[in-house]
Amino acid sequence: MFDFAELSFSGFLIIGINILFALTVIFLERRDATSTWAWILVLFFMPVIGFVLYLLLGRPLRQKHLFRWDGRKDIGIDKLIHYQMDAIANDTFQYRNPQIEKYDEMIFMQLRNNDAVLTQDNSVQVFHDGVDKFEQLVRDIEQARDHIHVQYYIFKLDQLGQRIYRALLKKASQGVKVRILYDEMGSRTTKRRHFNELIAAGGEVEVFFPSILPLINPRMNYRNHRKIVVIDGKIGYIGGFNVGDEYLGLKSKFGYWRDTHLRLQGSAMHPLQTRFILDWNQATSTNTIHYASRYFPIIPRQGTVSMQIVSSGPDSNFEQIKNGYLKMISMAKRYIYIQSPYFIPDQSFMDAIRIACLSGIDVRIMIPNKPDHMFVYWATYSYVGQLLEAGAKIFHYDRGFIHAKMIVIDDEVCTVGTANIDLRSFRLNFEVNAFIYDRTISHHLAELFESDMLDCSELTIERYHNRTLLIKMKESVSRLLSPIL
């Protein structure tokens, strides 16, 4: 028999706790108004569910300066940052490609606020197909001589994951230092014990923000969404592909997987290596990486591509990658091409796109035509529908699932990395992007976008206005929840 007094007490207790959470959201956390109202609605209209959701998703990250590494001074990054900032401010910086000088405000912003040094001697190889990307990655792993640093949000030990793991295991048995860092929430089915053979061979494996209790992780937000590989300090990878069979197009749910990833060579390896070491040292208390010249070798000039490696995350007061996106959009003169699997922008991003459209700039946005996460899909649909009114062109990718995170403007500047156009990437996850100032690479990415349009259907304003009542309801609910998705 139910004890109604006990049930009533439990109900009042949950409501009381929810009120305390709501007061915390309003008065202590200083969230933006949209996010604050979303949490208040969830806490009061879904008391029990809201209570659990807040514990798992709502609490802010209290720790600041999560990523520290004394080795920065040994590789001279701090001195280089100050030199580049002073030179740009005094108009004395030597750009090897004078065409990018018009973007010196953007370069200075990334330097000043993100310690993103500009490197000007890189070569870049673009991958848009998982088979090609992972074939090249395995070849590079097989050629490694000193160390291999691997970091993925998702590292599944399925067919693809086993192939990469076996290649890494072989190199570890040959004396190459292998380190793997993965995110626990992204890699839910992967456990550290699955790498025991690699660890026995001298490799090291760490987990970002692991669970305190089995099956319970109080940090469902604040995940490390970065994808980085650095081999011998000379070859690097950055982009959207994780490790799993779906990224080869082997899962029927998604079909062909369209993503964008970069293989880098040149001085950009130093900031990319630094990013990996910072993440690695945060995740470990026993296997800390200390500065050694082997991780930062002298690299002969590899090419002429200029770039900055930009990181963002909840450890910063500024939304670094989003700010880079906004700066790019504001500087566009002819066109803006955007690919993102999730498009749930904040008001500043929406305003920037609207202003670009109203200024006569050709704005094209490509999103998936298949849902990865249902609420996110319908929230995305509502936001792009709103931009149709301003003149943006919206394309649904029909061939499979598009996971690329790419923006290119005017055949001059582009960015590829891990950050989606959504509040989670802007504020909650740890992300990393390459911002590239190069006409050849930018033009190539624009051509890929235009080629992808052949596999798309356009969402016209007429088609959007004729959507069903059910779709409108899905949009409304999803948009209401979008600040906490």
List beta partners, residue 230: 149, 236
Burial of 458 from C-beta contacts in 10 A (0-12 / 13-18 / 19+): exposed
List the structure tokens of 16.
């009381």
List beta partners, residue 432: 311
Q: Supply φ then ψ for residue 410, to 5 degrees.
A: 55, 25
Q: Which of the residues are catalytic?
A: 225, 227, 232, 403, 405, 410
Residue by residue, DSSP assigns 446-474 as HHHHHHHGGGEEEE-HHHHHT--HHHHHH
- From the list 15, 19, 238, 289, the residue with the least C-alpha distance to 124 is 238
- Residue 65 CB neighbour total at 10 angstroms: 7
Burial string for 216-231 (b: 16+ CB within 10 Å, else e) reads ebebbbbbbbbbbbbb
Residue 148 near residue 154, CB atoms below 8 Å: no
Strands (DSSP E) along 268-374, which ranges?
305-312, 335-339, 343-344, 362-368
